[in-house]
Amino acid sequence: MLTYAADRLWEEVAYVAYYLHWPFESIVDMEHPARVRVIEEIGAINGRLSAVE
């Protein structure tokens, strides 16, 4: 069974990989605060694009 932290890491990796097509190793090697910032920026971009539609 995975811990919450491991589950969350997989969610973060999948999210970034889906939107930016970065390799797994590049995403996992990021420091957590940097990865969270990238996720926030992706979300902000998606929010702006949704508002335009």
> Token match 């990865």: residue?
35
Kindly give the confidence (pLDDT) of every residue in the chain, 53 residues in length, as a single tens digit, with 9 standing for 90 and above: 567 799 999 999 999 999 999 999 999 999 999 999 999 999 999 999 999 87
Kindly list the domain boundaries of the chain, sorted by start residue: 4-52
Regarding pTM above 0.85, the answer is no
Dist CA 23 CA 33 (whole Å): 18
For residues 38 and 6, what is the distance between their CA atoms, to the nearest angstrom? 18
User: Are 14 and 20 in contact, with CB atoms under 8 Å apart?
Assistant: no
Helix, strand, coil percentages (3-state) for the chain, rounded to 5, are: 80, 0, 20
